[in-house]
Structure 1
Amino acid sequence: MKKLSIFLAFLLFVAFQAAAQMQISGTVTGASDGLPIPGVSVVVNGMETIGTTTDIDGKYSITVPSEATELVYSFIGMVNQQVAINGRTVIDVVLEDEVMEMDEVIVVAYGTQIKEAKTGAVTTVTSDDLQTDATDSPAKMLKGKMAGVQINATSGQPGGSTQVRIRGFSSINAGMEPLYVVDGVPIQNESYLYAGGGSDPEEGNDILSTLNPNDIESMTVLKDASAASIYGSRAANGVILITTKRGKAGETKFNFTAKHGWSTKTNDNGFRFMNPEEILKYHRDATYNAGLDPDDPADPSHFYPMSLLDGEQTNWWDEVYQTGETSEYELSVTGGNEKTKTYSSLSYFDQEGIKIGTGLERITLRSNMDHKVNDKLTFGTTLTGSTVEQETQPTSLAYANPFCAASGLLPWHNPYNEDGSFNTDLPSNSDSNPLQNVALNENVDKLYKFLGSAYLEFEIIDGLKLKSLNSYDFVESNGRSYRSPLTPDGEQGGGDLYTSNMINTTVTSSNTLNYLTNFNDEHYFNVLAGYEFQKNIFQQQTAQGSGIGTDIKYLDNASSGKDVGSFHYTWALQSFFGRLDYNYVGRYFFTGSIRTDGSSRFGADNRYGIFWSVGGSWNIHDEGFMSSLDMIDMLKIRASYGVNGNDAIGNYESYGVYGARTYNGLGGLAPDQLANPELTWEQNTTWNIGLDFTLYKRINGTLEYYQRVTSEMLLDQPLSYTTGFASIQKNIGEMLNKGIEVALDVDILKDGDFDWSVGMNIAYNKVELTDLATEEDFITD
């Protein structure tokens, strides 16, 4: 009887426990695609020790106590949901993607900033706004996107250098290109000339063509002193910050993109060439006017009979231009968890230019990683490698340039002989057949680039962070230029070959302390202090030879004209900088920055320069007197003033240079360049006034007025001939640059996944040379 009582009591206890618990099951899916989500955390609200996760099919099952009222569903990258149980045993849940307001945060120098806190002229375009067409350079993606930013492709050849001007010109003899900063690393955007050794920058390749445009998350342009002065001597022409995509927590996502397109030269109807009849009439009239007979075969150079129109006519422009073709394929992978996030991509790009004999082939590989060790320590790496092979044609005004040669050829000259060989009987063009030049000559450059960086961020105390970013930038370029002995340019030397190997390395170390604090939730301070060091080493070896036939196109086959050369230089930059950002109740903002740069390019007396800026802004829309104006969502006025510099000069311009000479059979040294110890920085003093507004939550606009004065401008000052030199560069000129910018964007329609918006921008810029500092003339006779 006793045993029976114990057994009945046990059964009652089990029944009571079963009544005190319940089993809940269900499926969790995503709102965007309706697919099941594995790994979703499901816990009892207020009882975090009771929980489970969804399986690979998004299903879950959990036993909850009777007092449980809610379940919490959470997954990285999605909005958490609290769902009431209400006695249900089956609960299916749909999770929404978490939408981050990334447009409220913009990338600025050495960090990020809330958009409403900006005091300077800063414009950002994200990957959503950048063009989706396949392009060979990220710089071209900015064309038409920003007021005051002018983009020009200098040669029209794939991979050719791109000219970028921010708010016009700021110098004559110093560089005018902006500074490019990729993921916090300043890079050298030099135009590496093709192996032919020409000095025309149009014949170079754009180092930005080594970047995959599809890897870019955003591009931010710093236009005025307040935004750019913290980059000091390199910010005279503005700064372009390029931020690449990084991993996001969540399930691993694969994305494959394929693009194919065609391109043709711009419609040239406004630049009409004469037809064959008009060309012949022109030559006949000119011959008559010279007192000669165009029908007299005894004078071949002036023989232009009407029978020339009887044969087949050639449009030489159609012969040297073609329909270009572009193909691009990319695979990217992104994913991670709360600790580690990664982004990787592999891209192949191939472009055939609209000019015959031009093209670009590029392969890029990228891997970005961020890892959070704990709440205090984070580190990450950015690794990117690329190979670029570029085929070019000369762009100088010479017959080796097929497009220059085509402009002088007459339509009754056929490019081919009857046997299919190239026609070289072209007296109007020094017998230079552009189709033969392209087919037999070679202009190829192969470029290899690796950019690797690693950062470490440590929170010392609450609000105080130390960050160290170190990078290594490596570029190698191998060029080859061959002139066939069957072409006029290579005929005299019996075939000429010029080769070049260039290696350019840059090491950068940037270290910052950043402190954020606030008082009474009214006064907010962000203080930045940093040290940066950058060193560049450039070396180049060249070799050339003549007498090289068409079979073995290598220098060891040269029979004459063998020559070698080398070139080496190095420069370094050391900098200390700081910035203070202050805002009061999110309404009044102030920014001040200062930077000291020391450059090896200048003499000891002027090696260091100090550059600074101040700026302020006022969010007028937050004032009480604006509350009744419902149409105005945002209204901000900004003003800034500051000084930055320009160090884009030769690496040894301030030094006296001697070169090797031979006299009377004896070797020696002679001055090649005068010492110039007083040479110093060009300085740009800029002030800017801006107005930002948003109306009816649809109309966004910006108005800017700026004025920039370039002082200490580098100009050539004539010298007395008794010095042995014609001139020397001195800081004696002055230039005034001013302008107005207007940008307007309107969201016409937003309906779910469909957006329709239009935008426009207008810029006016005027540059005036105000002082050439001409001194008294020297007596030269």
Structure 2
Amino acid sequence: MNKKSTSNPSLTALITVLLVLSPFLNTILEAVPPKRRTPRKHFRVQQTTVTGTITNPNDQPVLGATVRIADSNTGTVTDLNGTYRLPAQTGDVLVISAIGFKTERVTVGQQRTIDLQLFEDITQLEEVTLNAGYYTVSERKRTGSIEKVTAADIEKQPVSNPLAALQGRMTGVYIQQNTGLPGGDFNIRIRGTNSLRLNGNAPLYVVDGVPFPSASIKDSRVSSATVTSSPLNNINPLDIASIEILKDADATAIYGSRGANGVVLITTKKGSSGTVKFNVHMQTGTARIAHKMDLLNTEQYLQMREEAFANDNLTPTPANAPDLTVWDRNRHTDWQDQLLGGNAYMNNVQLSASGGNERTTFRLGGGFRNETTILPGSFGVKKINGLINLNHKSTDNRFTASASASFVHNHSDMMSGLLLFPALKLAPNAPELYDEDGNLNWADNTWTNPLAELEKKYKSNTGNLITNANLAFELLPGLELSSGMGYNTLFTKESQFTPLSSIRPTYRAFIPRSANQNTSSISTWIWEPQLKYKRKFGKLGMNTLLGATLQKTTNQFFVINAKGFNSDALLENMQAATTLEVYKDSETKYKYQAIFARLNFSYDDTYFINLTGRRDGSSRFGPGKQYGNFGALGAAWIFSNEKPFEQGSVLSFGKLRGSYGTTGSDQIGDYQYLNLWSPVAQPYQDQTGLIPSRLYNPNFGWETNIKMEVALDLGFFNDRLLFSSNFFQNRSGNQLVGLALPGTTGFTTIQSNLPATVENTGWEFQLNTKNVSSDTFQWNTSINLSVLRNKLLEYPDLEDSPYANTYVIGEPLSVFNGYRNTGVDSATGVYSFEDANGDGFLSFPDDVQVLGNQSVDFFGGIQNSFQLGNLGLEFLIQGVKQTGSSAEFSFDPPGFQSNQPTRVLNRWQNEEDVAHVQRFTSTYNDAAFKYYDLLVSDYTLVDASFLRLRNVSIAYDVPLPDKSNIGLRLYLQGQNLVTITNYKGLDPENPGVNEIPNLRQYTLGLQLNF
């Protein structure tokens, strides 16, 4: 639901202080020993004094270690030399504890001196292993910027696309869901927008070492009635073990040109040794639209229409106003509820088995997922998935092998959100959808029945196969030779049929029955041999990597259109058509090769240097431009290991790290440097000719991205409070854009490099706290905040380029240029605008000004997890501060035959009226044209910020007998439950009315392990 955002600064400050201090308070409380209950003694126990020295594994004294007698108030702390003195009795138990060390217990016997060596407590920083693609590194020792989400977080969200599980959980990573319909697409930006090309900002996706496509292979001419699809819908989220996102130069440079916009690494689940374990995971859920817009009712709507005709001095007729003259004026339909108010249902069943011995492990899994839609009709998406994984190592542990294969088949007849606009714009007194005979009601051809779109048929079958194998052999101690091989193919066959029943009767003479079909695929194979060497020389550690990549990607597209069918029943038989037209028949090949190296040094587990480099070769550039060199330097210093920070201090961990390097991009499509010829639109004397459509230019090369980062990581109270702050600056230059050409050349642009530079800067903050940690209750909190800024630093001759009215130097790429609205002219009753050049006329582009930008200023999330015995609760709140497009952007001029938001009632009616909305009009005149000028003015820029309860998960582990070896978990999950915003549209996550908004979902689930 939408509510106006309200806040209490004092309450907010108090909550913030308590949240920050909670780890400190809990640590102090835990340090206070419980009151000792003195037992009644029936015999005399000898009282003595125990002394000793407490040291660390390096035989250095531990200052401030607590030594106390269990279940008593008697205790002391060690001095500078690590020594202590404590009165005790024979049989007493000494409890020795210190921050950063494991707690030890010793029973007092006849000895008078008890010396003890404490062992370091490996914290979560050391336990968390991050996948950097070509190597792994612990959270403690990393030099780069890597974010991670594990299966534990993914499984708590009822999502079908892995990207949905990342929203609000990562710094520097903004993910926007584009539609609430199943199978929809997502936008992801890792540390901002780098390229001027919209299709040049996607990250690299890698699934188990195999590159995965980022763009849909569907064709808009075939799937125009469907949602834009995301390829990642063809990956089962419940098969994922972890998702890592690489952001800075140190983490991405080893991927070279492929890592310019960040890298998304997806690792699937593997088997574990032991007896065979079975897992059953079942989910069922429902979803519906969370919010509706406030629109005019029938009385208000008819008043608006009649006033519009009166303003225009026109008379309503059945031709220009059936809503006033023909349709029932007493009828009212809430079209939002009628067309978008249904319930969507989801059912998901996943089965898996894993096991093996210490040498060989396996995992088998498979499942079925079915999702329906809120739209009328039985449309939806069905997915079948399967996965197999095998791992083996030799008896001497020198040889290891692993192989995995996953397959997802996706069947969809999902129609799109084309019903969204009728739901908002249809007159509330529009006719019934069906006539008395149950057929579509055309109301004597006075309207276009919105359900006609659902008469169209769409079906697609998409398959995704990912296979990979890895072999590794230890040639010498520390020297390993390995080879990774992978293959991925994503293919689809989609068809759309337009029967006569979907066409308004008055148009059937001009619009024939038709069928479109698309058969496309993207196949990639990759081979990566690697040589690794790891050695320790006293305190000096060395870890090296040398490897190569050979990759080939083949894209195939075949799109045809068929017309001239005699019957709707023949639409699925292309041979029954009288006309066949090939829209697209192409095959492109992309070849990529590279060599890469990594050299990592560490000293005393305190100082770290990481050098990476890669030389890439791409078939997308011409001779002499095909190769590019990329590299980075990363360094880290764990200063908490230094002498000033002795064990026992409040600061348990401190690390300063930074990186600098370059990555590149070749995301321009295949064969862009070559001459391109296309068939003429109309054959001449039955002969098809060719015309040039692209000019030859082999001189453009790699787009480059220079990345810099400085970061500080801190841990307090034995890492119960972890804080991280990052500052980054990315500059993307040598932009691959279209260079403007004179019209006499016959071409408007030619692909080229320009020294245009785009800069992204930002601050990222992450806070993780263990607020309460006891045997019966745990409370953990994670807070992240990202503040990003984007700017076009330079663009030579921008004013003479095709982008002169799109970009502004010194402004973000999302800059909004347009007219400045000055309100409604009180004399004429129409919108007025600032005459920027003072010539007395409103003209384009002379009166266009920089008005603002449609961008995300900052975003973040707050996640809390509670565990009380067998009951767990977790919730995530996502916040976004942004400017977006007004929801009114997609409505017709007020007064037209189109419903409107209720705010239009505050309109101009008489001279000298002060109003926010111009006078109503029913036809295309000066008032209507002024309204369209308004849509390119600052009037459409609105605050689209929101605070959303993104996810809630309540789980209960059912207690069962220990000997049963059965685990049973029941849970309830909610998604997009509450949204607080000032935005007046359907969904602030997608400002403007273009797609079905995100749905509010409820899911019941069961996990059974045995």
Of stretches 694-703 and 462-471 in structure 1, the one that deviates more from structure 2 is: 694-703
Relative contact order, higher structure (CA 8 A, sep 6+): 2
Q: Report how far residue 736 of structure 1 moved.
A: 1.0
Q: Does 1:745 align with 2:793?
A: no
Q: Report how far residue 667 of structure 1 moved.
A: 4.8
Letter in 2 for 1:219: I
Match for residue 537 of structure 2 among 505, 508, 519: 519
Q: Does 1:191 align with 2:208?
A: no
Q: Does 1:677 align with 2:698?
A: yes
The answer (yes or no) to whether the contact 2:210–2:487 under 8 Å persists in 1 is no
The answer (yes or no) to whether the contact 1:195–1:478 under 8 Å persists in 2 is no
Distance 1:432 1:558, change over 3 A: farther
Deviations 1:176-205 (A, max 9, x none): 1111111122222221215743689x8432
1:261 is matched with 285
1:454 is matched with 469
Question: Separation in 2 of the partners of 1:99 and 1:711?
Answer: 41
Q: Does 1:761 align with 2:784?
A: yes
1:597 is matched with 616
Question: Separation in 1 of the partners of 2:166 and 2:770?
Answer: 20
Q: Report how far residue 770 of structure 1 moved.
A: 1.4
Match for residue 382 of structure 1 among 387, 404, 407: 404
Question: Separation in 2 of the partners of 1:444 and 1:575?
Answer: 40
1:129 is matched with 153
Q: Report how far residue 356 of structure 1 moved.
A: 4.3
Question: Separation in 2 of the partners of 1:168 and 1:293?
Answer: 53
Question: Separation in 1 of the partners of 2:575 and 2:776?
Answer: 65
1:617 is matched with 636
Q: Does 1:478 align with 2:498?
A: no
Of stretches 678-687 and 372-381 in structure 1, the one that deviates more from structure 2 is: 372-381
SS at match of 2:520: strand
Q: Report how far residue 494 of structure 1 moved.
A: 3.2
Letter in 2 for 1:180: Y
SS at match of 2:271: coil
> Which runs of structure 2 are paired with 1:350-365 in the superposition (5 Å)?
350-356=370-376, 358-365=379-386
SS at match of 1:310: coil
> Which runs of structure 2 are paired with 1:51-450 in the superposition (5 Å)?
103-173=127-197, 174-193=199-218, 196-197=221-222, 203-268=227-292, 271-294=293-316, 301=321, 304=324, 308-356=328-376, 358-374=379-395, 375-394=397-416, 401-413=418-430, 414-425=432-443, 431-438=447-454, 440-450=455-465
The answer (yes or no) to whether the contact 2:483–2:529 under 8 Å persists in 1 is yes
Q: Report how far residue 210 of structure 1 moved.
A: 1.4
Q: Does 1:571 align with 2:593?
A: no
TM-score between both structures, scaled by the size of structure 2: 0.63
SS at match of 2:374: coil
TM-score between both structures, scaled by the size of structure 1: 0.81
Question: Separation in 1 of the partners of 2:543 and 2:375?
Answer: 53
SS at match of 2:300: helix
Distance 1:314 1:354, change over 3 A: closer
Question: Separation in 1 of the partners of 2:298 and 2:640?
Answer: 67
The answer (yes or no) to whether the contact 1:194–1:205 under 8 Å persists in 2 is no
Letter in 2 for 1:555: N
Q: Report how far residue 146 of structure 1 moved.
A: 0.4
Match for residue 653 of structure 2 among 627, 634, 641: 634
Letter in 2 for 1:247: G
Match for residue 539 of structure 1 among 544, 556, 559: 556
Q: Report how far residue 612 of structure 1 moved.
A: 0.5
SS at match of 1:246: coil
State the percentage of identical aligned residues.
Answer: 28
- Between Structure 1 and Structure 2, the one with more strand by share is 1
Of stretches 259-268 and 641-650 in structure 1, the one that deviates more from structure 2 is: 259-268
The answer (yes or no) to whether the contact 1:689–1:705 under 8 Å persists in 2 is yes
Of stretches 664-673 and 214-223 in structure 1, the one that deviates more from structure 2 is: 664-673
Question: Separation in 1 of the partners of 2:162 and 2:483?
Answer: 27
The answer (yes or no) to whether the contact 1:316–1:409 under 8 Å persists in 2 is no
1:72 is matched with none
Letter in 2 for 1:741: E
SS at match of 1:481: strand
Q: Report how far residue 224 of structure 1 moved.
A: 0.6
Q: How many residues align?
A: 667
SS at match of 1:157: coil
Q: Does 1:721 align with 2:743?
A: yes
Q: Report how far residue 371 of structure 1 moved.
A: 0.7
Letter in 2 for 1:388: N
Of stretches 318-327 and 220-229 in structure 1, the one that deviates more from structure 2 is: 318-327
Question: Separation in 1 of the partners of 2:245 and 2:493?
Answer: 32
Q: Does 1:709 align with 2:731?
A: yes
Distance 1:101 1:119, change over 3 A: closer
Question: Separation in 2 of the partners of 1:426 and 1:613?
Answer: 70
Q: Where in structure 2 are there 5+ consecutive unaligned residues?
A: 1-121, 802-1010
SS at match of 1:728: strand
2:807 is matched with none
1:730 is matched with 752
Letter in 2 for 1:159: G
Letter in 2 for 1:613: A
Q: Report how far residue 425 of structure 1 moved.
A: 3.0
Deviations 1:195-244 (A, max 9, x none): 743689x8432221111111111111101111111101111110011111
Question: Separation in 2 of the partners of 1:751 and 1:178?
Answer: 41
SS at match of 2:734: strand
Q: Report how far residue 729 of structure 1 moved.
A: 2.2
The answer (yes or no) to whether the contact 2:217–2:521 under 8 Å persists in 1 is no
Q: Report how far residue 448 of structure 1 moved.
A: 1.1
2:67 is matched with none
1:79 is matched with none
Distance 1:301 1:688, change over 3 A: same
SS at match of 2:306: helix
2:673 is matched with 654
Of stretches 717-726 and 612-621 in structure 1, the one that deviates more from structure 2 is: 717-726
Distance 1:629 1:273, change over 3 A: farther
Q: Report how far residue 362 of structure 1 moved.
A: 0.8
Distance 1:560 1:663, change over 3 A: closer
Question: Separation in 1 of the partners of 2:460 and 2:479?
Answer: 48
**RMSD over aligned Cα atoms:** 2.5
Question: Separation in 1 of the partners of 2:308 and 2:783?
Answer: 50
The answer (yes or no) to whether the contact 1:659–1:672 under 8 Å persists in 2 is yes
Letter in 1 for 2:348: E
Q: Report how far residue 421 of structure 1 moved.
A: 2.0
Question: Separation in 2 of the partners of 1:100 and 1:642?
Answer: 29
Letter in 2 for 1:204: T
SS at match of 1:280: helix
1:43 is matched with none
Q: Report how far residue 394 of structure 1 moved.
A: 4.2
Distance 1:393 1:214, change over 3 A: same
Question: Separation in 2 of the partners of 1:499 and 1:614?
Answer: 50
Of stretches 749-758 and 603-612 in structure 1, the one that deviates more from structure 2 is: 749-758
Question: Separation in 2 of the partners of 1:154 and 1:552?
Answer: 35
Distance 1:524 1:259, change over 3 A: same
Question: Separation in 2 of the partners of 1:680 and 1:199?
Answer: 35
Distance 1:364 1:559, change over 3 A: closer
Distance 1:683 1:378, change over 3 A: same
Distance 1:763 1:216, change over 3 A: same
The answer (yes or no) to whether the contact 1:221–1:241 under 8 Å persists in 2 is yes
Question: Separation in 2 of the partners of 1:773 and 1:718?
Answer: 12
Q: Report how far residue 561 of structure 1 moved.
A: 2.6
SS at match of 1:589: strand
Deviations 1:136-191 (A, max 9, x none): 11111111110111111223321122211111101121521111111122222221
